[in-house]
């Protein structure tokens, strides 16, 4: 009996998983035609007639509407109406299996008939999937975008997983699809797939600092769990998360980040499974209506709630009024019987996990680099390490010669620490555009008290004589308050051809008496996005504002001759940004000087702000010299700022600003 039960469970899992994408299509006949028809059927006249319907339903943009029984005969009037809808592109979607199932049908038709029309419609559908993807790697429920919750990154009903499985089969050339992609399209598909996986990793929810699973939908900007319909509240989802994990488990040579994501999700599934009950659908004797109830069953398979609280995993239920209830029986008949409130899907994850873990999660012996002074980091495993932090762990402490860590192109989703004992380290990216270090910590997420800001950095440098070139450092938390991309608390540090991207508090330059040098770099943010007490020279850099606010917040110590010096920099902004201050004093003796910089019209005429500190007007030193552009209006600046004379500006040389016990800056 035990063996029979296991076989039955496995069969239920397989059938359930195959039907996941289409669980909301009420009439299953279209789904059966696509997935259960014999290959030779697709060459029949019946199949060709249906295929013509599929071509008619396809919108000009390449997608299809959902919940449509494509096999139903169409009248002349209906065909004319579909032709008129083509260019409107309305209701094109990937929800409920739409578009992905039509792509598979067209592939089967092309395989059976070699009809070029099916191939072109298929390729247009693939283009639709690529075009609909957000820059952050996610997909909305509808594209073109439809107002409302439809713009959220949508895992609900496995929409995004369905898309990624199509792209995965195409890029891996598994043979599931008979239509071959052109080389350039293959590269686009591969890039889109990788971006999608990165999005999955970035949206995995952290509960008190611990990775858990996913919500059915995530905000397309902040990536945080988001609300959909009134009864689909921000929550952790057992059903959708299971299929995300199954997708991650299908990846060949998974990265450490993917392995960690899977391990964390499995731990959550183990922690939150509901045992000793089952879902029963019975007929109410009094009303004669169907009623869904939870009843005891010690032999039942584990269940997971469709919605669990973000902070403590407590299951909840709700009617269309959006009010949370503790038990299924607490909500009304319509929602109680018309929605899948529990799922068995994570059982399949737990069933496959031990074999996957044995294959990919076996602890590896710490790898020693071939040359400890010249290491290579590569996501694809072709280097000494696959993560930057692994290389840092292997780096010599207080080395007698420079340690060079070459980082190949890739998105490295990790917090990187250059410790105080890791002096003379060079982090050299393959390219600024392709070598990206990213993480998403922010003040409230860290939640360690008033100084939480300083724990949010994606890249933290504490080792003196650090060099970084040709890479991008991002804090992707979004507009959620303080969130540092780069934190430098070290002396004699140099950054060249790098990009630092964030919102509030993008770059923190720390250390009384410390000297730091940014050359040919791009720095963007919203408020005080360059802040700190170090002496820093910014030369030939682009400083980009994303909102009306303040560029700098220097906290220069009183004893320091120089604070921030911007030379030959270009101050730019988003189109809607019109009111930006050059700086405000974090501490009274703040010093910030702009020399021969181009200032866009977004710079406010008054230029500087005292942060409501009258004393700062006496002690701070804010100055400009020979700048230009629409935002340079020296005659309108606040009276307590300065316009330098030529003789005064002469002292702002690289040597004077950066001089130290060594002439470390000479060859930079």
- Is 505 catalytic? The answer is yes
Task: In whole angstroms, give the CA distance from residue 585 to residue 620.
Answer: 7
Indicate the angle between helix axes 256-272 and 238-249, nearest 10 degrees.
150
Query: Which residue is listed with tokens 């120089």?
Result: 562
Give the DSSP letter string of 590-633. -EEEEES-EE-TTB-TT-B--TT-HHHHHH-EEEEES-BSTT--
Catalytic residue, chosen from 172, 528, 574, 579, is 528
Q: Residue 658 is inside which H or E element, if any?
A: helix 654-658
Q: Are 144 and 60 in contact, with CB atoms under 8 Å apart?
A: no
Structure tokens at 647: 């003789």
Return the CA Rg of the chain. Answer: 29
Using alpha carbons, select from 153, 274, 275 the residue that is nearest to residue 214.
Answer: 153
Instruction: Evaluate the omega torsion of the peptide bond into residue 144 and state whether it is cis, within 30 degrees of 0.
Output: yes
Q: Are 244 and 214 in contact, with CB atoms under 8 Å apart?
A: yes
Angle at 152 between CA 151 and CA 158, to 5 degrees: 115
Indicate the angle between helix axes 100-113 and 45-57, nearest 10 degrees.
140
The phi, psi pair for 209, rounded to 5°, reads 85, 0
Using alpha carbons, select from 491, 488, 612 the residue that is nearest to residue 560.
Answer: 491
Q: Are 134 and 143 in contact, with CB atoms under 8 Å apart?
A: no
Between the CA of residue 247 and those of 3, 141, 193, what are the distances in Å? 28, 19, 11
Strand pairing report for 550-554 and 581-583: parallel
Output the CA torsion sign for 265, 266, 272, 273. Answer: positive
Task: In whole angstroms, give the CA distance from residue 641 to residue 637.
Answer: 7
The phi, psi pair for 644, rounded to 5°, reads -70, 145
Output the CA torsion sign for 82, 138, 477, 411. Answer: negative
Task: In whole angstroms, give the CA distance from residue 454 to residue 456.
Answer: 6
Structure tokens at 518: 């940014």
Secondary structure letter of residue 97 according to DSSP: G
Secondary structure letter of residue 102 according to DSSP: H
Query: Which residue is listed with tokens 């994990």?
Result: 245
Residues paired with residue 542 on neighbouring β-strands, in sequence order: 522, 570
Q: Are 448 and 455 in contact, with CB atoms under 8 Å apart?
A: yes
Q: Are 592 and 610 in contact, with CB atoms under 8 Å apart?
A: no
- Is 528 catalytic? The answer is yes
Catalytic residue, chosen from 297, 465, 505, 574, is 505
Q: Are 5 and 74 in contact, with CB atoms under 8 Å apart?
A: no
Q: Which residues are catalytic?
A: 505, 528
């Amino acid at each position: 009996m035990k063996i029979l039960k296991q076989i039955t469970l496995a069969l239920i899992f397989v059938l359930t998983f195959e039907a996941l994408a289409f669980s909301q299509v009420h009439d299953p006949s279209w789904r059966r035609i696509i997935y259960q028809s014999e290959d030779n059927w697709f060459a029949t006249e019946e199949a060709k007639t249906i295929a013509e319907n599929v071509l008619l339903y396809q919108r000009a943009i390449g997608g299809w509407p959902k919940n449509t029984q494509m096999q139903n005969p169409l009248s002349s009037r209906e065909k004319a109406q579909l032709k008129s809808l083509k260019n409107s592109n309305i209701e094109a979607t990937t929800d409920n299996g739409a578009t992905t199932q039509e792509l598979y049908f067209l592939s089967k038709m092309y395989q059976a008939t070699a009809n070029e029309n099916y191939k072109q419609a298929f390729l247009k559908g693939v283009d639709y999937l690529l075009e609909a993807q957000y820059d952050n790697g996610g997909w909305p429920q509808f594209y073109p975008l439809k107002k409302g919750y439809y713009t959220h990154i949508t895992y609900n009903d496995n929409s995004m997983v369905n898309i990624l499985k199509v792209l995965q089969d195409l890029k891996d050339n598994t043979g599931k699809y008979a239509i071959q992609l052109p080389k350039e399209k293959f590269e686009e598909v591969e890039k889109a797939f990788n971006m999608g996986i990165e999005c999955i990793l970035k949206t995995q929810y952290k509960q008190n600092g611990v990775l858990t699973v996913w919500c059915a939908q995530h905000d397309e900007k902040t990536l945080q769990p988001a609300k959909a319909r009134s009864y689909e509240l921000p929550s952790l989802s057992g059903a959708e998360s299971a299929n995300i994990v199954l997708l991650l488990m299908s990846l060949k040579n998974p990265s450490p980040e993917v392995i960690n994501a899977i391990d964390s999700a499995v731990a959550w599934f183990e922690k939150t499974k509901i045992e000793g009950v089952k879902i029963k659908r019975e007929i109410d004797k009094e009303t004669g209506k169907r009623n869904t109830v939870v009843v005891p069953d010690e032999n039942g398979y584990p269940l997971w709630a469709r919605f669990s609280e973000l902070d403590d995993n407590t299951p909840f239920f709700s009617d269309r009024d959006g009010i949370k209830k503790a038990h299924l029986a607490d909500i009304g008949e319509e929602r109680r019987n018309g929605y899948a409130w529990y799922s068995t899907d994570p059982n399949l994850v737990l069933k496959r996990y031990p074999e996957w873990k044995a294959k990919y999660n076996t602890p590896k012996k710490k790898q020693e680099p071939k040359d400890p002074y010249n290491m290579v980091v590569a996501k694809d495993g072709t280097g000494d390490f696959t993560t930057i932090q692994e290389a840092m762990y292997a780096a010599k402490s207080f080395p007698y010669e420079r340690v060079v860590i070459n980082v190949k192109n890739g998105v490295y989703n990790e917090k990187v620490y250059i410790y105080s004992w890791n002096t003379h380290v060079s982090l050299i990216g393959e390219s600024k555009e392709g070598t990206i270090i990213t993480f998403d910590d922010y003040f409230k997420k860290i939640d360690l008290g008033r100084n939480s800001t300083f724990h949010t950095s994606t890249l933290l440098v504490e080792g003196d004589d650090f060099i970084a070139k040709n890479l991008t450092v991002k804090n992707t938390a979004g507009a959620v308050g303080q969130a540092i991309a780069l934190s430098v608390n070290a002396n004699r540090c140099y950054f060249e051809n790098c990009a630092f991207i964030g919102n509030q508090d993008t770059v923190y330059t720390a250390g009384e008496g410390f000297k730091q040098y940014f050359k040919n770099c791009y720095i963007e943010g919203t408020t005080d996005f360059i802040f700190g007490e170090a002496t820093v020279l910014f030369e030939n850099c682009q400083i980009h504002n994303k909102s009306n606010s303040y560029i700098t917040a220097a906290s220069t110590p009183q004893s320091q001759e120089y604070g921030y010096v911007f030379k030959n920099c270009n101050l730019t902004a988003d189109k809607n940004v019109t009111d930006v201050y050059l700086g405000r004093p974090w501490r009274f003796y703040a010093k910030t000087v702009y020399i021969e910089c181009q200032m866009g019209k977004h710079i406010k005429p008054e230029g500087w702000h005292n942060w409501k500190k009258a004393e700062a007007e006496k002690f701070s030193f804010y100055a400009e010299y020979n700048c230009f552009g629409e935002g340079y209006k020296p005659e309108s600046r606040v009276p307590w700022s300065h316009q330098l004379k030529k003789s005064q500006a002469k002292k702002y040389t690289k040597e004077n600003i950066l001089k130290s016990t060594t002439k470390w800056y000479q060859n930079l």
